[in-house]
Amino acid sequence: MSPRRAILCLAVGQTLVWAGTYYLFPALLLRWEAAEGWSKTTLTGGFTAALILTALFSPVAGRLIDRGLGPVAMGAAALVASVAIACLPLAPDLTVFVGLWLIVGVCMSACLYEPCFAIITRTRGADARRAITLVTLVAGFASTISFPLSHAVAEIRDWQAAAVLFGALTAFVAAPLLFFGANSLERRHRSDEAERRAAPDFQEAAARPVREVLRGPTFILLALAFTFLSINHAVLINHLLPIMDDRGIPEATAILVASLMGPMQVAGRIVMMLIERRASNHAITSYCFGALVISAVCLFTASWWPLLVFGFVFLQGSGIGISSIMKPVAIRELLGQANFGAISGTMALMTMAGFAFSPFLGSLLWEAGGYDLAILVVTAMALIGLVGYWTATRTASSP
């Protein structure tokens, strides 16, 4: 399989595994509440716990990738997740139902973006950015598949049929595509490594121990920067409708703005591809942080000029969309390619944990000082993240 076809397999596999796991929860949440009488608070609490498990197991998935076991881990994780999803209709009570989602949470640590990008970076090296961009361009439409398809099936039959359908799609389409795409890249990487080592002038550079990298200032600054970026996005996107209501934005406009978040992520990635030869990785990554800072300012001032909500959704969507590509690129540039899986997995632990707790953090800030305070805090976080990223680039280049 050519590298292009392997990347295409990963792109389609990522689209379906996101649609069948992460996005399936919000897509069916109201139906579970209505049909089963389960508390929305308990259900969302269970999903938060699943995301925490995703974060906790991300370093484990990263270490498996460093050992060349990424294809097996990714394919097996998608398969186990599909079984758990398909078994949701068989859950006799809420406890078992949440338990199945906890299993899905563990599996997502090895089959979503973070491990996929780690495999691509490990095997493609300097060419990873374009490959990651192509994956995100396709997988950006996962929610476009999950929400309408699950709604249609649930309307025709019930939510149980929708869960079984997505379990089947994940098992019989996503899991094989992820395994074969990743395995093709891994086998080619091993072949290239063998040729490189067989060269007469080969000298293997000593890699820094993982613990030394994780304790260094560059990793700490970079991890905090992207964690703050994640919190900014998660707080605003999870509280977006009530924030816009608080600012007097009409409901129809608020729903339109929320629906544009996904397309703006894709638009940002397309623009990045068009200008990538004229803009450095440092400039593009800086844009991600700066865009989220300005987007929050737009949302804060939308009370006086409502049209600024469209500036918010463009900047927030494009910034966070591009950041999913630039984060692995920044890790590789500043921390090296050796032990990339373990390093990126540990960083994912921090960013995913921040993302999981962000909705609750937003509620706490709202209770303390309303949404004005919440927006100001996450704006400061994105700004601190930008400074942290700039400082990390300096510590990485210093002797």
Domains of the chain: 3-191 (1.20.1250.20), 210-397 (1.20.1250.20)
Can you give the pLDDT at residue 359? 84
Which one of 96-100, 131-135, 241-245, 299-303 scores highest in mean pLDDT? Answer: 96-100
Can you give the pLDDT at residue 258? 83
Nearest by Cα to 233 from 145, 331, 313, 287: 313
Over residues 49-65, mean pLDDT: 93
170 pLDDT band (50/70/90 cuts)? Answer: very high
pLDDT digits (tens, 9 = 90+) for 359-383: 888 888 998 999 999 999 999 999 9
For the entire predicted model, the pTM comes to: 0.86
Nearest by Cα to 174 from 124, 263, 122, 108: 108
CA distance 153 to 25: 15
Rounded (to 5) percent helix, strand, coil in the chain: 85, 0, 15
* CA end-to-end span of the chain: 42
pLDDT digits (tens, 9 = 90+) for 300-313: 999 889 899 999 99
Tell me the helices (H) and strands (E) count for the chain, helix number first: 18, 0
CA distance 242 to 301: 15
CA distance 113 to 109: 9
Nearest by Cα to 17 from 133, 172, 182: 172
Can you give the pLDDT at residue 198? 64
CA distance 233 to 329: 20
For the record, the structure tokens of 254 come out as 């608020």
Nearest by Cα to 58 from 121, 2, 105, 8: 105
357 pLDDT band (50/70/90 cuts)? Answer: confident
Quickly count: other Cβ atoms within 10 Å of residue 351's Cβ. Answer: 25
How many residues appear in the chain?
399
